Amino acid sequence: MRDCLFCKIVKKEIKADIVYEDDEIIGFNDINPQAPVHILVVPKKHIEDLTKIEKDDVRVMGRIMEVIKDIAKEKHLESGFRVVVNTKESAGQSVFHLHFHILSQRRFHWPPG
């Protein structure tokens, strides 16, 4: 995906503050943090949003959950964190490459805004 911002981060064409990386997944600090800890966990494969996941992607989705767990441990988020996946523009998605927000170290409200 030539014009996709997160594909460019995956290919290191755009710099990011990377906190986790393996063959399939990358994690980096959000450029406009909405909490003291705000990390994005992203499959390297270009998937537009949650509605575009295919059968072959299910394993890596599970691995993303494991990576989120590991980041939470490494960053000492045991007091709590929120995982958000904005899906489609009306839900707040602005980058159309699937990503999981990890937000932590402040109080969160429910229902979310």
* Residues at the contact surface with ligand AMP, assessed by CB under 6 A: 5, 14, 16, 28, 30-32, 40, 86, 92-95
Please name the residue that has the structure tokens 């979310």.
Answer: 112
* CB of 3 or CB of 78, closer to ligand AMP: 3
**Which member of 76, 99, 101, 109 is catalytic?**
99
Q: What is the largest CA-CA distance in the chain?
A: 39
50 binds Zn ion (CB under 5 A): no
Buried b (16+ CB within 10 A) or exposed e, 98-111: bbbbbbbeeeeeee
Q: Tell me 101's DSSP state.
A: E
Per partner kind, with CB cut-offs from 5 to 8 A, the member of Zn ion, ligand AMP, none near residue 4 is Zn ion
Q: Tell me 80's DSSP state.
A: -
Where along the sequence are the contacts to Zn ion (CB under 5 A)? 1, 4, 6-7, 46, 97
Active site residues: 99
